[in-house]
Chain A
Amino acid sequence: MPTNRRHTVIGHAILVIAAIVALYPFVSVLLLAFSEPGTKRSGFTIPKSLSFDNFSEAWHRGLFSHALTSSLIVAVAVVVGTIVLATLAGYAFAFFPFPFKGLFLLLLLVGLVMPYEATVIPLYYQLKDWHLTNTYWALILPQIGLSLPFAVFWMRTFFVSTPTALREAASVDGASKFRVLRSILLPMAVPAIGTLATLLFLFAWNEFLLALVLVPDNPDVQTAPLSLSFFAGNRRNSDPGVTAAAAVLVALPILISYIALQRRMISGMLAGAVKE
């Protein structure tokens, strides 16, 4: 139908514009990173040749080989831990009646909305008492706690949206609540968990302030955003090209994993039993 075709064209046009707007700042950083060190930046110029000098300087001075490994360890641990805990809690919030449910949800909301710039200081002293500062645990454990509210709300929303008929059929068959979760709901939840994992991975990967304060003095545990900050947080003689290269180094792994997960998610949705 002509109307439909018009919609398709308009829709795609808007999408293309939105995509360009989303891409442009990153592209400008990319061009900057690939430019010869010390060249003049202006308007819309494209560097004549690709130079990797900025990258190699950022890589060595920012200790990126360590930092990327640390970031990966921390982010994966946070994602796995959070998803396990949030799936259990989200399930309970979705289908179990129990007293103080409203209160617990409220407490979760508190964690979701609080600004933690000040909270990080008591957290530092607590972890110091437990001799956990300067270790991976100082990055993983608090971030699992901080990711929980979002993840629990997410999983609860998903569970509530699943078809009642499926669950009822399972209970009639005599399946326990845990079996319903494991055998019926979890397979359905793969796309939702995939998206959640992507988001959590992102939050954990880009986390900066916690990493800075809770690991004040151990380069071996330092994460990638700290390496970037090493360049961006210099008050003098910072080199925009090297900073840009460091920024690209921080963003690239997550970009790649996002694209990879994105494909998995879509195939999961096509194959899964999301729709009745």
Chain B
Amino acid sequence: MTAVTEARTGASSPEAEVPARPRKGAVAAWASRQYWPAYLYLLPGAVFYVLFVLGPLGQTAWISLFRWDGLTEGRWAGLDNYRDLFHDGRIPSALAHSLVFVVAYAFLPVALGLVLAGLMSRIKVRGLTFFRAVLFLPQILATVVVAVSWRWIYDIDGPLNAALRAVGLGGLTRAWLGDYDTALPAVAVVGTWVMYGLCMVLFLAGVQKIPTERYEAARLDGAGPIREFFAVTLPALRGEIAIALVLTITYALRNFDLVWNTTAGGPGTSTTVPSVFIYQGAFITREVGGAAAISVCLTAVVLVVTGVVMRLVRGKED
């Protein structure tokens, strides 16, 4: 009950801010250093954040220690839910699928977005507004819409198979989402499609901020487009790349909408991901404690992964 309470109450009464391990004179030091204006700026946001995000998250962690059907009085279970998790045979394959999705939802779109942003930084693009709006389109569609249209594209009579037949590859046609060998890559491609527009727009906003002199300087040094990209564009986009990676990796690891609405984890269990189990536990099987335990573990995993990524991309924090 230390730091968070400070965020909540600190600004109005700085004296009340006692650090985790109070030392003598610390309060006086704080007052003299005038930290309180910072907390004043943070306070309104912190109130919302604690009430509607950290609070429920803490309760989720608490619930993970119970067997609870989400309705009637729960039963203390200690760490049983976590123990069950480690013995749950479905988890390892679900994690493997998540890994595939991280590549498809995060790394590929960021790479594509960078290439496109690099192109736009160097050339004068005609119809920039149009391309931006169009490339961003996949992001603005609700997942259900995305799922409906891609189910049709992958359909046995759908455009993809029609195209394959047209170019004489009729032997490859199949129900892409219903085949054990292709369902996972097929869902992964949808993720790439959804995410590359977001990366695009993020990087484009970043590219506009780069002072043109830097490009001119690089060009005076005789830099080609590729060297220019690595010397100017990429370093300047570090912050945006970090945000994009955090967003897309998070989406890849936790999002279940897309999987749920395209394959529902099938065929068999070939496209299950941990968040599908969370959802099922919370809303279908009503094992809310178990679902909470997966949530907590997933949050920890995502936190570690994104922490590492941010550290790698941005370098050391200030």
Task: Check whether chain A touches chain B (CB < 8 angstroms).
Answer: yes
Residues of B within 8 A of A115 (CB): 253-254, 275, 278, 295, 298-299, 302
Of B52, B126, B141, B225, which is within 8 A of A251 by CB? Answer: B141
Residues of A within 8 A of B122 (CB): 7, 11
Whether B39 sits at the interface, judged by CB under 8 Å, is yes
Q: Please state if B282 and A19 are interface contacts (CB–CB under 8 Å).
A: no
Q: Known interface pairs A142-B52, A259-B133, A276-B211. Does A15 touch B119 (Cβ–Cβ under 8 Å)?
A: yes
Residues of B within 8 A of A258 (CB): 133, 136, 140
Q: Please state if A225 and B144 are interface contacts (CB–CB under 8 Å).
A: yes
Whether A135 sits at the interface, judged by CB under 8 Å, is no
Assembly CA distance A44 to B155 (angstroms): 12
Which residue of chain B has the shortest Cβ distance to A176 in the bound complex? B37
Whether A131 sits at the interface, judged by CB under 8 Å, is no
Whether A128 sits at the interface, judged by CB under 8 Å, is no
Interface size class of B (residues with CB under 8 A): 35 or more
Assembly CA distance A240 to B138 (angstroms): 20
Q: Please state if B209 and A274 are interface contacts (CB–CB under 8 Å).
A: yes
Assembly CA distance A191 to B37 (angstroms): 27
Assembly CA distance A141 to B227 (angstroms): 47
CB B249 to nearest CB in A, in angstroms, measures 8
CB A208 to nearest CB in B, in angstroms, measures 7
CB A67 to nearest CB in B, in angstroms, measures 12
Assembly CA distance A15 to B130 (angstroms): 10
Q: Please state if A113 and B246 are interface contacts (CB–CB under 8 Å).
A: yes
Residues of B within 8 A of A121 (CB): 60, 63, 70, 282, 288
Q: Please state if A114 and B131 are interface contacts (CB–CB under 8 Å).
A: no
Q: Please state if B145 and A11 are interface contacts (CB–CB under 8 Å).
A: no
Q: Known interface pairs A89-B41, A263-B129. Does A104 touch B7 (Cβ–Cβ under 8 Å)?
A: yes
Residues of A within 8 A of B120 (CB): 11
Q: Known interface pairs A118-B288, A247-B142, A250-B142. Does A28 touch B137 (Cβ–Cβ under 8 Å)?
A: no
Residues of A within 8 A of B45 (CB): 85-86, 88-89, 148, 152
CB B192 to nearest CB in A, in angstroms, measures 10
Whether A112 sits at the interface, judged by CB under 8 Å, is yes
- How many residues of chain A get a CB closer than 8 Å to chain B's CBs? 99
Whether A55 sits at the interface, judged by CB under 8 Å, is no
Q: Known interface pairs A120-B282, A121-B288. Does A21 touch B6 (Cβ–Cβ under 8 Å)?
A: no
Assembly CA distance A1 to B266 (angstroms): 54
Q: Please state if A113 and B302 are interface contacts (CB–CB under 8 Å).
A: yes
Whether A177 sits at the interface, judged by CB under 8 Å, is yes
The stretch of B83-91, B156-164, B178-186 that contacts the partner chain: B156-164
Interface residues of A in 140-184 (CB under 8 A from B): 141-142, 144-146, 148-150, 152-154, 157, 160-161, 177
CB A80 to nearest CB in B, in angstroms, measures 13
Q: Please state if A98 and B35 are interface contacts (CB–CB under 8 Å).
A: yes
Residues of B within 8 A of A32 (CB): 152
Q: Please state if A247 and B49 are interface contacts (CB–CB under 8 Å).
A: no
Q: Please state if B60 and A206 are interface contacts (CB–CB under 8 Å).
A: no
Q: Please state if A22 and B134 are interface contacts (CB–CB under 8 Å).
A: yes
Assembly CA distance A149 to B48 (angstroms): 11
Residues of A within 8 A of B288 (CB): 118, 121
Q: List 25 A-B contacts (CB under 8 A).
A: A15-B116, A15-B131, A25-B150, A26-B137, A26-B145, A28-B159, A43-B159, A92-B37, A104-B42, A111-B54, A112-B247, A112-B306, A113-B254, A115-B253, A117-B254, A117-B256, A118-B291, A119-B295, A122-B60, A126-B56, A152-B45, A191-B205, A240-B148, A247-B141, A262-B133
